[in-house]
């Protein structure tokens, strides 16, 4: 009884077989079929390797939402070198939400040489090259996001030479915290003095001939400091053509949450528009000489997430490649074989076309003459 049930089950499974086997004696091979099979296998191997490379790669997904965090402080990371002595310049932030100067105690004034060493110039040229490529190819920003890591650094290397010359510039670096509202970070002549109606700078004791706001921005970022990220103003260098010159940077800051396989941080991206002009009150160009960075906070927050293709999707795409190539090559081979048979059949019919034989009564016969034994002798 069990054997009967097994036999019935086996017969049922045979009827459900969607892949019937053809006996080898019924299979006919050909040179054209082998050529098509070789092309198909080569194409499958090539596309499989390409698909595996796509599977290994990742991409960045951008999501936008309204930033509801209004109470936290915004961190500004600064590393700027100005071609003036430290006792002649002062940096501070004027917050538009208040009429007082935000504290800039987190900044360090370090006397340095404005000219760079060959190693520092090489890094600066590399940063400027990356910035120019980023302006042309925006997709490179995704590469920078994916390659960012906490141990990397874009800061200039320390000077290797022991110059005997006295420092002629001031490096202002450090960080400070401000409210998440529009503000103005500026570096101008004299130290800042806050008072109830605003602020002022002690610039009376500094002669106009010593004004030189040529500067180099080694780093400027907002939010958490991520050394591997290259910001739009990193590597920027401006040389003043006049003593009374104003450099302005209009910055739009966008809060950004970055989640990659290497790092997860809350930082800020920003875009910048630059402008510079010479202060000439007689010509109607009013203002104060210095470096002014006017920033505004966007109300939108961007979440950047690094994503990877699921393994099941890779298998589905791989099966589609293999099955699709087999089906397509089979159809093309069958169609080519059908066309070839039609052409060769017509050629064969033309070779056996009937010939005309004249008869004694003046008629012609379209039938082929019979070959007999007498005709051969």
Strand partners, 89: 189
Cα 223 to Cα 100: distance, rounded to the nearest angstrom = 22
Percent of the chain past pLDDT 70, that is, above it, reads 73
Determine the 3-state secondary structure of 212 from DSSP. Answer: coil
Structure confidence by residue, pLDDT tens digits, 235-259 = 889 998 888 889 999 999 999 888 8
Q: State the average pLDDT over residues 76-102.
A: 80
> Which structure tokens are listed for 275?
């402008």
> Which structure tokens are listed for 20?
């019937």
Compute φ and ψ for 363, nearest 5 degrees. Answer: -90, 165
Of 87-96, 207-216, 366-375, the one with minimum mean pLDDT is: 366-375
Region label for 64, one of left (φ > 0), alpha (ψ between -120 and 50) or beta (otherwise): beta
Q: State the average pLDDT over residues 363-377.
A: 48
What count of other Cβ atoms lies within 10 Å of the Cβ of residue 274? 13
Structure confidence by residue, pLDDT tens digits, 148-190 = 655 445 566 666 656 667 888 999 998 888 888 888 898 888 7
Listed residue (139, 136, 130, 148) closest to 59, CA to CA:
139
Mean pLDDT (the chain, rounded): 78
Percent of the chain past pLDDT 90, that is, above it, reads 10
Listed residue (111, 108, 239, 90) closest to 166, CA to CA:
111
Cα 341 to Cα 366: distance, rounded to the nearest angstrom = 27
Compute φ and ψ for 272, nearest 5 degrees. Answer: -140, 145
55 pLDDT above the threshold of 60 = yes
What count of other Cβ atoms lies within 10 Å of the Cβ of residue 217? 21
217 pLDDT above the threshold of 80 = yes
Determine the 3-state secondary structure of 360 from DSSP. Answer: coil
Estimate the crossing angle of helix 311-351 against helix 31-56, to 10 degrees: 160
DSSP-assigned letter for residue 261: S
372 pLDDT above the threshold of 50 = no
141 pLDDT above the threshold of 70 = no
DSSP-assigned letter for residue 160: -
> 255 with 298: CB under 8 angstroms?
yes
Structure confidence by residue, pLDDT tens digits, 286-332 = 878 889 999 999 888 989 888 888 889 889 988 988 888 888 888 88
> Which structure tokens are listed for 258?
């970055």
> 66 with 301: CB under 8 angstroms?
yes
Band (pLDDT 50/70/90 cuts) for residue 371 is very low
Please tell me which residue, 137 or 104, carries the higher pLDDT value.
137
Cα 233 to Cα 274: distance, rounded to the nearest angstrom = 10
Angle (CA) 205 211 216, round 5°: 130
What count of other Cβ atoms lies within 10 Å of the Cβ of residue 177? 13
Burial class, 109, CB count within 10 angstroms (exposed 0-12 / middle 13-18 / buried 19+): middle
> 81 with 163: CB under 8 angstroms?
no
Looking at residue 253, its pLDDT comes to: 92
Q: State the average pLDDT over residues 100-106.
A: 59
Q: State the average pLDDT over residues 125-146.
A: 72
Cα 246 to Cα 342: distance, rounded to the nearest angstrom = 84
Please tell me which residue, 347 or 48, carries the higher pLDDT value.
48
Looking at residue 151, its pLDDT comes to: 47
> 62 with 139: CB under 8 angstroms?
no
> Which structure tokens are listed for 37?
């099979």
> Which structure tokens are listed for 280?
């000439």
> Which structure tokens are listed for 98?
């208040």
Looking at residue 10, its pLDDT comes to: 74
Compute φ and ψ for 259, nearest 5 degrees. Answer: -130, 105
Please tell me which residue, 8 or 233, carries the higher pLDDT value.
233
Looking at residue 60, its pLDDT comes to: 82
Find all residues with CB under 8 Å of 314, minimum gap 6, and list them: 51, 52, 55
């Amino acid at each position: 009884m069990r054997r009967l049930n097994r036999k019935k089950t086996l017969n049922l499974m045979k009827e459900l077989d969607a892949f019937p086997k053809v006996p080898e004696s019924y299979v006919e091979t050909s040179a054209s079929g082998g050529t098509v099979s070789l092309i198909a296998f080569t194409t499958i191997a090539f596309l499989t390797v390409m698909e595996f490379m796509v599977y290994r790669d990742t991409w960045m997904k951008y999501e936008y939402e309204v930033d509801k965090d209004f109470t936290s402080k915004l961190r500004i990371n600064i590393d700027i070198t100005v071609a003036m002595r430290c006792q002649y310049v002062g940096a501070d932030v004027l917050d538009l939400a208040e009429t007082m100067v935000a504290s800039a105690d987190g900044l360090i004034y370090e006397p340095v040489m404005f000219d760079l060493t060959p190693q520092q110039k090489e890094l600066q040229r590399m940063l400027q090259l990356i910035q120019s490529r980023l302006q042309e190819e925006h997709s490179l920003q995704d590469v920078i996001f994916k390659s960012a890591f906490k141990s990397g650094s874009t800061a200039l290397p320390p000077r290797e030479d022991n110059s005997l010359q006295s420092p002629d510039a001031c490096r202002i670096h450090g960080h400070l915290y401000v409210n998440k509202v529009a503000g103005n970070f500026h570096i101008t002549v004299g130290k800042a003095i806050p008072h109830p109606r605003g602020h002022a700078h002690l610039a009376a004791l500094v002669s106009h001939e010593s004004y030189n706001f040529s500067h180099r921005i080694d780093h400027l970022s907002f939010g958490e400091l991520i050394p591997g990220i290259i910001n739009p103003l990193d590597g920027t260098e401006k040389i003043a053509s006049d003593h009374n010159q104003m450099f302005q940077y209009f910055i739009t800051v966008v809060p950004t949450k970055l989640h990659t396989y290497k790092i997860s941080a809350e930082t800020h991206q920003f875009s910048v528009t630059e402008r510079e002009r010479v202060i000439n009150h007689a010509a109607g160009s009013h203002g104060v000489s210095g470096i002014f960075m006017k920033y505004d906070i966007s109300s939108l927050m961007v979440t950047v997430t690094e994503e990877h293709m699921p393994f099941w999707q890779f298998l589905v795409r791989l099966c589609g490649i293999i099955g699709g190539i087999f089906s397509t090559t089979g159809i093309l081979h069958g169609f080519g074989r059908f066309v070839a048979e039609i052409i060769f059949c017509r050629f064969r019919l033309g070779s056996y076309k009937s010939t005309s034989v004249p008869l004694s009564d003046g008629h012609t016969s379209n039938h082929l003459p019979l070959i007999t034994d007498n005709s051969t002798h």
